[in-house]
Amino acid sequence: MKAIAFVLGGLFTVTVWMMGLMMLIGSALHVAA
């Protein structure tokens, strides 16, 4: 049960991190354009 929670938590963290990264790249491209 603990392993499932750990995997879900890791997946959630990666998803949020990727979304933040995409927003950063998007804003950087917007400024560069």
Task: Report pLDDT for 1.
Answer: 79
Task: Report pLDDT for 18.
Answer: 98
Q: What is the 3-state secondary structure (H, E, C) of the chain?
A: CHHHHHHHHHHHHHHHHHHHHHHHHHHHHHHHC
Task: Report pLDDT for 29.
Answer: 92
Domain that holds residue 29: 1-33
- Predicted TM-score (pTM) of the model is 0.59
Can you give the length of the chain in residues?
A: 33
pLDDT tens-digit profile of 1-33? Answer: 799 999 999 999 999 999 999 999 999 999 987
Task: Report pLDDT for 33.
Answer: 74
Number of domains the chain contains: 1
Give the Cα separation of 24 and 30 in Å (integer). Answer: 10
